[in-house]
Amino acid sequence: MQIKKIYSSMTPGQQRIATYIMENPSDIIKHSITELARNAGVKSEASVVRFYRMLGFSGYKDFKIQIAQELASRTFYHSHEDINIDDTTLSIKEKIFRGAISALDSSAQCQTEAVYETACKLIDHANRIIFLGYAASAAMCYYAHFRFIELGFNCHFSADPHINAALLARPNPKDLLFCISHSGETRDIINPLIRIAHKEVSTILITGTENSTLGSLADVVLLTRAEEQNLVTDAMSSRVAQLCTIDALFSMVSLQRGEDALSRLRTTRSTFLTTKR
């Protein structure tokens, strides 16, 4: 459940219910719908009904089962906190792994099949794929660049915004811009996208923020979800989800291209063997 993620967009009554649930998750499993409404300080049971339906549940029982499952798997909001200075080695490892598992589970559920199908179609029809991402996102772009080169795509990647700006000064028809920005507000990606708006160029964006500047500019937005934390776990978890998104697209396009793609991959893997002892 993405209670914390959408908390700011809730009504005051919904926020009271959400706050009570996040602070008392174990109690919710034992509460009737009347008890939850009373303890959360809302007017009626109908408020609770509207709350869990807003989260995608058809009944209160299903809502409670989900909470119980999250508690059992230790992926509720209060069970994988940020890393603290006095954490043990084991605690740090568990927090990192739990955060990544939670991010992957949330990211897998937040996108429709149609969005991925559209992204695959844009990739398959592209004459050239230009990967745009900086800082930590540059590593993700470099990985995606490597994967799609394996399939024989004409790809370009540079971590230098000046090189990319020069390349995009006059983009080629049917170029595809494959952008990665967790915030969706990377200025060195926004500026060239604005300049080439309305040209024969398509854009795919992997981001953690749909309602962002880049989100409004891209043709296809692939969302990844990660808990908002204060230190490092959010950044790490989002990268894991981004890697899985790239691999999902790579696998879909490979199968879509059939035997030609599989033959290329077999040849590439055979070539890699010559680099090993």
Q: How confident is the model at residue 81 (pLDDT cuts 50, 70, 90)?
A: low
pTM of the entire predicted model: 0.67
pLDDT at 181 over 70: yes
pLDDT at 87 over 50: yes
CB 200 within 8 A of CB 169: no
Q: How confident is the model at residue 231 (pLDDT cuts 50, 70, 90)?
A: very low
Q: Would you state the pLDDT for residue 73?
A: 55
pLDDT at 68 over 70: yes
Segments making up each domain of the chain, as ranges: 1-79, 113-273
Q: What is the DSSP letter of 6?
A: T
The angle that helices 12-23 and 33-40 make with each other, rounded to 10 degrees, is: 110
Rounded Cα gap, residues 58 and 72, in angstroms:
22
Tell me the CB-side half-sphere exposure of residue 96, using CA atoms within 13 A.
12
CATH architecture of 1-79: Orthogonal Bundle (1.10)
Q: Is 113-273 a domain of CATH 3.30.110.40?
A: no
Can 1-79 and 113-273 be said to share one CATH topology? Answer: no
pLDDT at 216 over 70: yes
Q: 123 burial class (0-12, 13-18, 19+ CB within 10 angstroms)? A: buried
Question: Beta-strand (E) ranges in 160-264?
Answer: 175-180, 201-207, 220-223
- DSSP three-state, residue 276: coil
pLDDT tens-place string over residues 11-28: 989 999 999 888 888 788
pLDDT at 177 over 70: yes
Question: Beta-strand (E) ranges in the chain?
Answer: 128-132, 155-157, 175-180, 201-207, 220-223
Rounded Cα gap, residues 158 and 166, in angstroms:
11
Across 34-48, 88-102, 218-232, least confident range: 218-232
Average pLDDT, integer, range 198-208: 89
What type of residue sits at position 276? K
Cα 266–chain centre separation: 30
What type of residue sits at position 209? T
pLDDT at 43 over 60: yes
Higher-scoring residue by pLDDT: 116, 257: 116
Rounded Cα gap, residues 205 and 219, in angstroms:
8
Average pLDDT, integer, range 192-219: 89
pLDDT at 152 over 80: yes
pLDDT at 85 over 80: no
